[in-house]
Amino acid sequence: MTDRTTDWEGRLTQLWASLDELDEQEFVRRIDALAAERAPDDPVALFERASAQDSTGHSGRAVPLYRRALQQGLEGQRRRRAVIQMASSLRNLGQAAESVSLLAAERAAGSDELDDAVAAFLALALVDTGREREAAALALAALARHLPRYNRSLARYAQEIAGRPPG
């Protein structure tokens, strides 16, 4: 990263840290101003603008920005966060089936520290599509990895709930 990029990222981090201290409109205005320092179709800037809209309760404004960020080639952890956040916003907008589709594909795409976030938001979307047992199984399987004990038992129960033989 160049010094300019490092500085931009640092200012962005500071701004996000102030989210709860700022008026929502002021926060979005400041994110938009910071994003404007980059090219109009810069995927990182688009993602940050989408995230600001989402974090201030404007899912409908966030989704098109997430889509553009992804179309412009957003990479790395921000790409995965964009999919998770956009899927959550879509669910909030009544488009749970698309949310399920995006998150199921994301689960199959790879693994990292955001796996449980993908599972959690997928479980929410599954509930909204009437697939509550599958949602419960998914959430329990994700939780099982974090328990100090009973990991194997809970993982097996999650498979049973999902209708899969323990294995």
- Reported as a single tens digit per residue, the pLDDT across 56-67 is 999 999 999 999
pLDDT digits (tens, 9 = 90+) for 73-132: 999 999 999 999 999 999 999 999 999 999 999 999 989 999 999 999 999 999 999 999
**How confident is the model over 5-36, as pLDDT tens digits?**
789 999 999 999 999 999 999 999 999 999 99
Residue 47 covered by a domain: yes
Confirm whether 94 is domain-assigned.
yes
Give me the CATH number covering residue 93.
Answer: 1.25.40
- How many structural domains is the chain composed of? 1
Q: Residue 134 and residue 160: Cα distance in Å, rounded?
A: 10
Residue 132 placed within a domain: no
Residue 149 lies in a domain: no
| Angle of CA points 33, 39, 42, to nearest 5° | 95
pTM: 0.90
Q: Is residue 32 part of a domain?
A: yes
Q: Which residue has the tokens 């520290």?
A: 113
Domain of 13, in residue numbers: 3-98
pLDDT at position 78 is 97
pLDDT score at 167:
57
Residue 14 CA to residue 33 CA, distance in Å, equals 14
Q: Report the distance separating Cα 36 and Cα 43, nearest Å.
A: 12
* Residue 167 located in a structural domain: no
